[in-house]
Amino acid sequence: MQINHINILLVDDEYLLRQSLLHYIERMDDLFVVAAQASNGEQALEILKTETIHVVIADIRMPVMDGLELAKKVHEYYPDIIVVLLTGYADFKYAQEALRIKVFDYLLKPISEEDLSSEMIRIRAHLEKTYELPEDSVVSTRDVHANVDYAVTYMQDHYTEQLDIGSLAASMGFTSAYLTKIFNKYVGETPLKFLTNLRIREAKRLLIETSLPIREIGEKVGYPDQFHFSKTFRKLTGVNPSAYRTENTPEQST
């Protein structure tokens, strides 16, 4: 079955959050459309009776009917609809329950544009198994490859600088959401993750092969803030830079 748009239903009792999600989605390509909005699960179910919806994005905590109950009913009555739940850290136990009732995924709040874009890419890939979707409408496949190659090369050449993905996308005539979409499709990870991995890989080399101070290594790989550098390094490697250097540098003979 061919569809021209992926119709999304946003469900949240917080109007401003719905508007923020709407704004993010509208900045992506024309494939994704916010077809309807609701402030609780009961309203959402009424909408599903009359509207063609492919994806429901709902907050876990809502009055009248919460996101978990909504997800259960959607799974029961509309098993082909993808459900993504929004949750805060305090609601993590609900997120675990959400996975048990077979929701597609859950996103931690606050939600960034890049997180949402990555999720939309996963959703598209999943729906491509069921529906025939239109090709990317912004640029041709050949141009997409060329732009992704440019983005990769640019980051490899400028990772030591204060590189902003949004500014890079704008310089190419794209939104950051669209650049993330095509980059993830052809590289297998988001531009930000690619850049972070590039920086940390170089930091590992410098930690092992040089005796430069941690602060200076951070600056050389694009992290002028030593705390941010150490936090990012630990997140990716499991240890802080000093511990990594100690564990991977042979002891000097005396």
Do the Cβ atoms of 64 and 42 come closer than 8 Å?
yes
Structural domain includes residue 16: yes
Range of the domain at 250: 138-254
pLDDT at 125: 78
| pTM given for the model | 0.56
Q: Say yes or no: 93 and 152 in one domain.
A: no
Q: In the chain, how many H helices and how many E strands?
A: 12, 5
Residue 222 and residue 196: Cα distance in Å, rounded?
A: 9
- What residue ranges in the chain does DSSP mark as E strands? 6-11, 32-38, 55-59, 82-87, 105-108
pLDDT at 10: 97
Structural domain includes residue 132: no
Average predicted confidence (pLDDT) for the chain: 86
Domain end (from 85, 106, 127): 127
Percent of the chain with pLDDT over 70: 90
What would the pLDDT profile of 63-104 be if each residue is shown by its tens digit?
Answer: 888 888 999 999 999 999 999 998 876 666 666 666 667 788
pLDDT at 181: 84
Q: Say yes or no: 254 and 146 in one domain.
A: yes
Domain containing 164 — which CATH number?
A: 1.10.10.60
Structural domain includes residue 1: no
Domain end (from 87, 103, 127): 127
Please, which pLDDT band fits residue 140 given cuts at 50, 70 and 90?
low
Residue 209 and residue 201: Cα distance in Å, rounded?
A: 12
How confident is the model over 213-225, as a mean pLDDT?
93
Token pair in block for residue 20: 């923020």
Structural domain includes residue 105: yes
Structural domain includes residue 52: yes
What would the pLDDT profile of 11-34 be if each residue is shown by its tens digit?
Answer: 998 999 899 999 888 777 678 899
pLDDT at 184: 87
Domain end (from 70, 103, 127): 127
Do the Cβ atoms of 194 and 155 come closer than 8 Å?
yes
Do the Cβ atoms of 184 and 142 come closer than 8 Å?
no
Cβ neighbours for 194, distance < 8 A, ≥ 6 positions apart: 152, 155, 183, 187
Paired residues of 9 in beta bridges: 36, 56
More confident residue, 170 or 95: 170
What is the amino acid identity at position 151? A
Cβ neighbours for 149, distance < 8 A, ≥ 6 positions apart: none
